[in-house]
Amino acid sequence: MAHDPLAGCRVVGFDLETTGLQIKSDRIIQFAVVGSDIDGSNINFESMVNPQRDIPADSTRVHGIHDSDVKDLDTFEHHIDDLDELFSDAVVVGHNVIKFDWPFISNEYLRFGKIVPKPKAIIDTLIVARKLNLPRPHGLGHLCKKYGVALENAHDAGADAAASLLLLWKIMESEPKPFRRPLEDLQTWLSSAELDDNDNLGRGYDDLEPFDSDGKIRISDDDLIIIFGRHRGTSLQQLRKNDESYLNWLLSANGPFQEDDRVRIRKHLDM
């Protein structure tokens, strides 16, 4: 890709196994955080924890964890400081992480009177699949099979976390166009994945051809559209009329564009 929105970030896959599916009443019994730090070093932090309640037989049939496996272990609270360090200012990747894993972990923090960490971004591969309108089904196992990601021990937190992270990389390689944007705008694109009744997604900025090398500017007919920052969705001609000082900054050496792109943009605007 011409632009990697995750470059220079701590990026971790994240997954949980729990006593059940009820976020308010069920508890975490296993977590995994795997990936790489800013310096490229490996991150692999996973553990089972004592949920302080029984594990229903139906849940054990899914993940294979029994009461006897966790009854003598530390509670989740024991790991909070280490998790804070990994999650804070990181890009957290998971499958259905927005509606399941992150609310679960947030509730655990609140139970122990702790402040929930603030990642730089949370990227949900389920939302990515829906936003890209990939063929169904969108389960982790099916998507991993489609993209050639090995998932030999599904419903183990470590295996699922690693698979989610590798799945995102595979999707980004296969569908690079939507990811040619800064991380902030990638989050905006994903958070705007409002599905209609048929789960169809409308056109977005990624349907427009990039004009610059990083895809920060898209061309629509003869207009150049900025797709990041406070003027996202505004044409450069409009920006020239309404906030010329911002346009001047964009096209300066201190702005976000490379020299070749600045020359092309100026030429297009007859500047």
Q: The CATH number of the domain where 174 resides is what?
A: 3.30.420.10
Residue 197 lies in a domain: no
Report the number of distinct structural domains present in the chain.
Answer: 2
Q: What local confidence, expressed as pLDDT, does residue 205 receive?
A: 54
Q: What local confidence, expressed as pLDDT, does residue 222 receive?
A: 73
DSSP symbols for 229-258: GGGTTEEHHHHHHH-HHHHHHHTSTTSSS-
Across 147-164, average pLDDT: 92
Based on the fold, state whether residues 184 and 230 are members of the same structural domain.
Answer: no
Q: What local confidence, expressed as pLDDT, does residue 21 receive?
A: 84
Based on the fold, state whether residues 167 and 226 are members of the same structural domain.
Answer: no
Cβ-count burial of 161 within 10 angstroms (0-12 exposed, 13-18 middle, 19+ buried)?
buried
Give residue 201's pLDDT band: very low, low, confident or very high (50, 70, 90): very low
β-sheet with 121-124: strand ranges across: 42-48, 28-36, 11-18, 91-94, 121-124
Residue with tokens 């966790």: 70
Across 201-216, average pLDDT: 65
Q: In terms of residue numbers, what domain contains 29? A: 11-191
Q: How far apart are CA 39 and CA 43, in angstroms?
A: 11
Q: What local confidence, expressed as pLDDT, does residue 255 receive?
A: 84
Residues in the chain: 271
- If phi > 0 it is left, if psi is from -120 to 50 it is alpha, else beta; for residue 77 that is alpha
Give residue 4's pLDDT band: very low, low, confident or very high (50, 70, 90): confident
Based on the fold, state whether residues 42 and 137 are members of the same structural domain.
Answer: yes
List pLDDT tens digits, range 258-269: 888 899 999 888
